[in-house]
Amino acid sequence: MKTLRNWSILLLGIASFALAGCNTMQGAGEDIEDAGDSIQDAAD
C-alpha cells in the first residue's frame, strides 16, 4: 500500500508540472504573437 501511495504522489506531481508547463508555453506564445502584431502595426 505504501508503494501505491508513493506512486500516486509522484504521478500527481508530474501531472501538476505538465499542466503548469502547458499554461506557461501558451502564455509565452500569446506574448510573442502580441509583439509581432505591434511590430506589424508600426510598419504599416
- Reading the chain (44 residues) residue by residue, the pLDDT tens digits are 678 888 888 888 888 877 776 667 777 788 888 888 888 888 77
Structure confidence at residue 26 (pLDDT):
73
Q: How many CA within 13 A on the CB side of residue 40?
A: 6
Task: Please tell me the distance from the alpha carbon of residue 4 to that of residue 7, in angstroms, as a whole number.
Answer: 5
pLDDT at 1: 63
DSSP string, the chain: -HHHHHHHHHHHHHHHHHHHHHHHHHHHHHHHHHHHHHHHHHH-
- What is the distance between the alpha carbons of residues 41 and 44, in angstroms, rounded to a whole number? 5
The pLDDT assigned to 16 comes to 81
Domain ranges in the chain?
A: 1-44
